[in-house]
């Protein structure tokens, strides 16, 4: 007898292979170190940490960094990019792309030395994007020749659309350094012309002014001449132009305060009709004085509030965003955005204000506010150039709040707005991973398949292939759980086909393939196809190129082959395979593996061999003794391993199967006494309680109850607490302590309704049974029992067998109270719903068929007592026709009738 089957419902159908993939916790049935499905962290098993996760979090953060940089929040972009670069797994093309984005964020802040240092982390072949940034750094430093050399290596066609304008801008700066004014203005105009958005266009206008402040040349004599022209032409447009040039010259000469004073005087004297000149003066004042505080910040706020040019307002918005990352400055910035957005007259750049405020809300983790602003932009400005930024905000919010299905839908919308390229490819992976995390494995499998056709640099195609296989397997598990075995087997066949068709996916790696094969093998095994699993793994072990497989991978394969042989009923093959594995572990490439890994492999393999010997011992007693001796030696040679601890349970199973119950119980309690902190201690106590129960005496029931109390007291958060309490209720009923049992079931019903929704139904049925048992002494229990039975009988989400049992007990309680008409109606409803409907009849399991037989026998008895012999005969005949249990009893009752009546249709009520 296998004691694993003593736990009910969900516990006995745990998807053990999920734990091997790191997708669920410890299997509720048993944490077996010899069973890779239980996810125990001992080699050679596939542990949770061994699965290469899809870097979806990184994709979300990189998208957020790029969005922040596009909007001008360059310090926030810098922080996100540095976090991503600090991740140890970030390397190769992914690292180089992040380095380029970081250099851009630092350039935006004017931190040229830091930008150059960041660019020094670029490790690949220098691309056009690299030379563009290196050229901008040199140009801003007035290193004209270096800037020209870098620009010469840029191929404009190699640049993404968003960077083509920056190349033209670089050409303009180089021309400016060479005093080629005509070429400078032409290049700047071309940059503005090919800008990908109004925001970028405003950014070029802003940078044009900034370049004059950074790269211009000035002398005291030249400044004096500019001053004289300004004063001579005061009040005229040309005079205002000289005033701006004079302020720039003063700033270049280090006389910032004088420059600010000049601009303030000009703003005070300018008439309101000179709108564009006012815009230019305010923007220049903001650049020179700075957007952090004081007159510069006030000038930019004034420009944002009222300006002739939307480009100027967008430039001011970007400068303010860059200087409003934290503290009071951010609060002031947000307040101004609130004011402008709420104004009665729509602001000229309201869509920009909404997306900037959404970005501020994200920084403050005000996800509701960010989502509201992004939605408002999409609804009010459906054709906005900022649509992708709004969709990015919505995707990021959903991801941060773990609303993964919503994140998948939003990422798919965002992806549809982007042109082909790595950003679009990354979003394809994000869509797939969001579906996966949402538990929508069908859509996840399809999305991973699509992502493989457009793989991003950040993810190996082999990893995407593994995730697709895993999604098919998990979808199969969901279908099995939903009672759709044919569809589930189709999903497993799809997973097999994927692995067979792509034994070495392009760009993949053997580890990804192994992970897929491992999970498929476990799925096949869990669902009764151990032979198929063994066949796949054996073929994999023996295929060409297996010798070149990494040693650790080869060890894991060999171990799984042995385990599957054991579970496929071939213990001698398992012993042979384990011996071969242990022999190779001591020399060659396997012998050079880390000692901790080898120790875990050796101990787990010895345990597997001992179990195989014990199984062989059914026909060879000497083998059984050898297995018992091996278990004892395991505890000595590998005393500190999980396998050694588990050996107590393996030995207890051996004695349990031979009905040596006392020895089995002693071993289990001995484990809990010797290793109270072991992950196996709670299960050992549970097994010991079952052993005590099997002895069948009141004293042993009481002993079992004490063991269960110890389990729930010492391990209150263990997965087994629910099942232990459920068993405790059963024990109390066997001791005729129905009141105490009732309290146990009520506790389970109240406290585990969410975590154990299906298994709680068993507690509810048992609670009804307690009320039924006490109804003779206290009639108030009748109504409680009837109410629970009726509710469970009608509950669509309850398992079919449980509904049939509840239906029998419901009718039985009514019959016992003398309400035979209602009892007959209740039972006939169960027969019509679950037996005469072929689809529902196919769902009946062993327990359901037993209770259906009881219903038909009780119906026949009722009909006989009412002299409705034709209907009684029909009930008994239906039992025989459906081959339900109790056939001999039905035949004896039919034999009592003196005549054979024609079949009469079953009465429906």
**Model pLDDT for residues 743-792, shown as the tens digit of each residue:** 999 999 999 887 777 789 999 999 999 999 999 889 899 999 999 999 99
Cα–Cα dist 579/575, whole Å: 6
Q: What is the mean pLDDT of residues 705-721?
A: 95
Are the C-beta atoms of 844 and 852 separated by less than 8 Å?
yes
Higher pLDDT pick, 878 / 511: 878
Are the C-beta atoms of 476 and 523 separated by less than 8 Å?
yes
Report the percent of the chain where pLDDT is more than 90: 64
Burial classification of residue 657, based on how many CB atoms lie within 10 Å of its CB (0-12 exposed, 13-18 middle, 19 or more buried): middle
Cα–Cα dist 190/385, whole Å: 20
Grade residue 215 by pLDDT with cuts at 50, 70 and 90. Answer: confident
Number of H helices, E strands in the chain: 47, 0
Closest Cα partner for 224 from 196, 193, 253? Answer: 253
Cα–Cα dist 137/215, whole Å: 12
Contacts of 353 (CB under 8 A, 6+ apart): 317, 337, 340, 341, 347
Closest Cα partner for 172 from 199, 193, 196? Answer: 193
Asked whether the predicted pLDDT for residue 33 surpasses 80, the reply is: no
Are the C-beta atoms of 65 and 80 separated by less than 8 Å?
yes
What local confidence, expressed as pLDDT, does residue 509 receive? 61
CA max distance for the chain: 134
Closest Cα partner for 350 from 390, 393, 296, 295? Answer: 390
Grade residue 351 by pLDDT with cuts at 50, 70 and 90. Answer: very high
Grade residue 3 by pLDDT with cuts at 50, 70 and 90. Answer: low
Burial classification of residue 263, based on how many CB atoms lie within 10 Å of its CB (0-12 exposed, 13-18 middle, 19 or more buried): buried
What local confidence, expressed as pLDDT, does residue 44 receive? 31
Cα–Cα dist 787/391, whole Å: 51
Higher pLDDT pick, 618 / 181: 181
Angle, CA of 136, 138 and 141, to the nearest 5° = 110
- Classify the C-alpha dihedral 582-586-590-591 as positive or negative: positive
The per-residue pLDDT of the chain, averaged, comes to: 87
Are the C-beta atoms of 530 and 567 separated by less than 8 Å?
yes
Cα–Cα dist 519/470, whole Å: 7
**Model pLDDT for residues 376-432, shown as the tens digit of each residue:** 999 999 999 999 999 999 999 999 999 999 999 999 999 999 988 888 999 999 999
Type and span of the H or E element at 878: helix 869-881
Cα-only R_g, the chain: 38
Grade residue 29 by pLDDT with cuts at 50, 70 and 90. Answer: very low
Q: What is the mean pLDDT of residues 855-880?
A: 94
C-alpha of 830 from chain center: 41
Cα–Cα dist 348/468, whole Å: 47
Closest Cα partner for 14 from 653, 681, 437, 480? Answer: 480
Asked whether the predicted pLDDT for residue 13 surpasses 70, the reply is: no
C-alpha of 788 from chain center: 37
Distances, alpha carbon 70 to alpha carbons 419, 636, 738, in Å: 17, 64, 70
Q: Please tell me the pTM assigned to this model.
A: 0.72
What local confidence, expressed as pLDDT, does residue 546 receive? 67
Asked whether the predicted pLDDT for residue 14 surpasses 80, the reply is: no
Distances, alpha carbon 199 to alpha carbons 77, 78, 312, 315, in Å: 17, 19, 10, 8
Are the C-beta atoms of 469 and 518 separated by less than 8 Å?
no
Grade residue 52 by pLDDT with cuts at 50, 70 and 90. Answer: very low
What local confidence, expressed as pLDDT, does residue 50 receive? 36
Grade residue 235 by pLDDT with cuts at 50, 70 and 90. Answer: confident
Asked whether the predicted pLDDT for residue 449 surpasses 70, the reply is: yes
Cα–Cα dist 21/33, whole Å: 15
**Model pLDDT for residues 246-299, shown as the tens digit of each residue:** 999 999 999 999 999 999 999 888 888 888 888 989 999 999 999 888 899 999
Cα–Cα dist 414/710, whole Å: 55
665-689 in b/e burial notation, b at 16+ Cβ within 10 A? bbbbbebbeebeebbbbbbbbbbbb
Tokens of 235: 């009040």
Q: Give the DSSP letter of residue 35.
A: -
Q: What is the mean pLDDT of residues 845-863?
A: 95
DSSP string, 294-334: HHHHHHHHHHHHS-S-HHHHHHHHHHHHHT-SSHHHHHHHH
**Model pLDDT for residues 530-583, shown as the tens digit of each residue:** 898 899 889 888 876 666 677 888 888 889 899 999 988 999 999 999 999 999
Distances, alpha carbon 781 to alpha carbons 335, 766, 775, 815, in Å: 64, 13, 5, 16
Q: What is the mean pLDDT of residues 614-630?
A: 89
Residues in the chain, total: 909
Cα–Cα dist 348/329, whole Å: 24
Distances, alpha carbon 427 to alpha carbons 451, 459, 469, in Å: 9, 12, 20
Angle, CA of 356, 359 and 360, to the nearest 5° = 90
What local confidence, expressed as pLDDT, does residue 502 receive? 67
Burial classification of residue 447, based on how many CB atoms lie within 10 Å of its CB (0-12 exposed, 13-18 middle, 19 or more buried): buried
- Classify the C-alpha dihedral 318-323-326-331 as positive or negative: negative
Q: What is the mean pLDDT of residues 691-703?
A: 96
Are the C-beta atoms of 24 and 582 separated by less than 8 Å?
no
Type and span of the H or E element at 163: helix 161-177
What local confidence, expressed as pLDDT, does residue 503 receive? 63
Are the C-beta atoms of 557 and 541 separated by less than 8 Å?
yes
DSSP string, 586-624: TSHHHHTS-HHHHHHHHHHHHHHHHHHHHHHTTT-HHHH
């Amino acid at each position: 007898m296998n004691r694993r089957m003593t736990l009910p419902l969900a516990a006995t159908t745990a998807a053990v292979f999920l734990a091997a993939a790191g997708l669920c916790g410890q299997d509720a049935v048993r944490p077996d170190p010899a069973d890779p499905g239980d996810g125990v962290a001992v080699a050679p098993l596939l542990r949770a940490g061994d699965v290469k996760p899809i870097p979806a979090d990184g994709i979300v953060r990189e998208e957020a960094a790029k969005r922040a940089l596009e909007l001008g929040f360059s310090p926030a972009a810098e922080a996100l990019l540095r976090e991503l670069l600090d991740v140890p797994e970030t390397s190769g093309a992914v690292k180089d792309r992040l380095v380029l984005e970081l250099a851009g964020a630092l350039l935006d802040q004017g931190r040229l030395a830091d930008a150059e240092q960041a660019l020094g982390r670029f490790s690949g072949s220098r691309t056009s994007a690299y030379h563009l940034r290196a050229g901008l750094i040199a140009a801003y430093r007035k290193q004209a020749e270096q800037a020209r050399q870098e620009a010469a290596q840029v191929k404009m066609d190699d640049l993404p659309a968003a960077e083509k304008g920056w190349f033209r801008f670089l050409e303009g700066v180089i021309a400016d350094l060479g005093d080629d004014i005509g070429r400078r203005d032409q290049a700047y105009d071309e940059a503005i012309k090919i800008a990908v958005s109004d925001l970028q266009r405003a950014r070029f206008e802003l940078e044009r002014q900034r370049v004059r402040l950074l790269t211009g040349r000035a002398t005291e004599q030249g400044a004096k001449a500019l001053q004289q022209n300004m004063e001579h032409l005061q009040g005229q447009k040309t005079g205002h132009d000289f005033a701006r040039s004079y302020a720039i010259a003063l700033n270049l000469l280090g006389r910032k305060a004088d420059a600010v004073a000049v601009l303030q005087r000009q703003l005070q004297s300018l008439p309101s009709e000179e709108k564009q000149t006012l815009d230019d003066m305010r923007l220049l004042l903001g650049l020179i004085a700075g957007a952090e505080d004081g007159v510069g910040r006030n000038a930019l706020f004034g420009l944002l509030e009222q300006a002739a040019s939307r480009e100027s307002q967008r430039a001011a918005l970007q400068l303010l965003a860059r200087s409003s990352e934290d503290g009071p400055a951010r609060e002031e910035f947000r307040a101004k955005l609130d004011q402008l957005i709420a104004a009665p007259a729509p602001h000229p750049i309201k869509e920009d204000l909404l997306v900037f405020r959404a970005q501020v809300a994200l920084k403050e983790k005000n996800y509701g506010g960010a989502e509201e602003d992004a939605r408002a932009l999409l609804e009010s400005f459906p054709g906005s150039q900022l649509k992708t930024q709004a969709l990015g905000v919505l995707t990021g919010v959903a991801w941060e709040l773990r609303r993964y299905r919503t994140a998948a839908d939003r990422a798919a919308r965002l992806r549809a707005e982007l042109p082909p390229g790595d950003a679009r490819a990354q979003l394809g992976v994000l869509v797939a991973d969001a579906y996966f995390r949402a538990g929508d494995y069908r859509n996840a499998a399809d999305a991973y398949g699509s992502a493989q056709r457009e793989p991003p640099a950040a993810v190996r195609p082999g990893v995407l292939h593994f995730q697709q296989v895993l999604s098919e397997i998990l979808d199969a598990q969901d279908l099995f759980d939903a009672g759709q075995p044919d569809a589930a087997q189709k999903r497993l066949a799809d997973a097999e086909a994927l692995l067979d068709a792509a034994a070495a996916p392009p760009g993949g790696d053997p580890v990804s393939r192994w992970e897929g094969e491992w999970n498929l093998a476990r799925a096949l095994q869990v669902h009764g196809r151990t032979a198929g699993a063994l066949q796949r793994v054996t073929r994999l072990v023996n295929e060409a190129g297996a010798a070149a497989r990494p040693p650790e991978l080869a060890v894991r394969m060999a171990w799984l082959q042995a385990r599957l042989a054991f579970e496929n009923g071939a213990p001698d093959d398992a012993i042979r395979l384990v011996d071969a594995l242990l022999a190779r572990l001591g020399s060659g490439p396997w012998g050079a593996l880390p000692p901790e890994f080898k120790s875990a492999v050796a101990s787990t393999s010895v345990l597997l061999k001992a179990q195989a010997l014990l199984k062989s011992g059914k026909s060879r007693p000497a083998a059984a003794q050898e297995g018992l001796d091996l278990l004892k030696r395991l505890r000595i040679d590998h005393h500190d391993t999980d396998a050694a601890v588990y050996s107590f349970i393996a030995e207890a199973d051996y004695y349990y199967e031979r009905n040596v119950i006392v020895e089995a119980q002693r071993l289990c309690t001995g484990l809990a006494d010797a290793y109270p902190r072991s992950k196996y201690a709670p299960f050992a106590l549970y097994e010991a309680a079952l052993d005590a129960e099997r002895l069948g005496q009141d004293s042993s029931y009481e002993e079992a109850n004490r063991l269960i109390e110890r389990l729930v007291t010492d391990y209150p958060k263990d997965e087994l607490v629910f099942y232990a309490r459920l068993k405790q209720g059963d024990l109390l009923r066997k001791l005729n302590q129905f009141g105490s049992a009732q309290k146990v079931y009520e506790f389970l019903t109240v406290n585990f309704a969410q975590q154990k929704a299906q298994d709680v139904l068993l507690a509810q049925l048992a609670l009804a049974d307690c009320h039924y048992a006490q109804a003779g002494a206290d009639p108030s229990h009748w109504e409680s029992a009837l109410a629970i039975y009726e509710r469970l009988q009608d509950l669509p989400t309850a398992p079919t067998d449980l509904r049939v049992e509840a239906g029998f007990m419901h009718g039985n309680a009514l019959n016992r109270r003398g309400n035979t008409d209602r009892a007959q109606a209740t039972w006939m409803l169960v027969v019509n719903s679950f037996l005469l409907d072929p689809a529902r009849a196919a769902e009946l399991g062993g327990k359901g068929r037993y209770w259906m037989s009881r219903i038909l026998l009780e119906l026949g008895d009722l009909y006989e007592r009412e002299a409705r012999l034709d209907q009684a005969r029909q009930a008994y005949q239906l039992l025989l026709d459906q081959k339900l249990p109790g056939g001999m009893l039905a035949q004896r009752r039919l034999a009592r009738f003196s005549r054979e009546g024609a079949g009469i249709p079953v009465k429906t009520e």
